[in-house]
Structure 1
């Protein structure tokens, strides 16, 4: 076999893997943006409909962010083209762990309000309260992260970003999105709790402004 033929065969055999690796990295972007989108929905209820989140609601938000941190870390490493199999597996393992713990928190809140005639906490979307949707989202996120972990040999990005300027730009956007949501969630928690040690189990205002007499 000539050198040119061997080179062509090698390129054709590695191209599908290179494509799947890029798709794996795009999936990490979709995971992070998707969980941030879930938080955006919660923000709509809080700031658009004036429904104040309880401590367990805020805890669920935290675990959504923590679950997104795993693939966000993978994305951050991919900007330098240094995503190893260990890093890929660790990132998705972290995502699964956070999603499963978050699902326990959501399930606990569901069970707290499952017995009639308890009306549940806050409003509902399509007949289900937000903590029920959170449980569904956490379980879906855990399954999605597990699939990415299971497909590690085909999906880990390796050096895919080095040949894809679009992925590098997407990394900047996705990391900015999760940073904005992490910061905004911190600010929202502070405004709800104020300078107190504990947040009310059924908040009816932003305690920070109440403490200031506003």
Structure 2
């Protein structure tokens, strides 16, 4: 049984620090990193999940989920609930799997480039002080790193450096990446904030 006593983002200090940092940048007129966090942390995963659900309904993908039991405290009252989290989906053919992830990473790159373009526009409009300059450089670094990670992942996909695995139980194929000496599912890489 898992226990939740506070909101999920509060379980990760890194996300709290990034959120505070993005809010601080917004005080300088640089809201693009905050928009990036909102798009990539909320909107993009929902769109990908909706697309996977549509593919599942058409029989092109099999959605695998993991069910976990949680005890949630709401105003001090313990409630038990079951949560299903989406795992790496299986696709009927390797071609369909590659098509889905190529489109997903291209959409991800487009969103990242749009937020970078917004940041460039915002830096042109701010009143330049030394603090605003430091904030602008930090915001550029914050947005350029995920673009770099997306481009390297796409390069790995093009070079065939990702593993496609046939899953007998689901009669489909899954994809995995090996990054920094650990294996990550392709869906986790697609939906990560990095």
TM-score range, shorter chain: 0.3 to 0.5
Which structure is higher in strand share?
2
Rg (Cα) greater in structure: 1
Which structure is higher in helix share?
1
TM-score (norm 2): 0.42
Q: Relative contact order, CA 8 A, sep 6+: which one is greater?
A: 1
TM-score (norm 1): 0.39
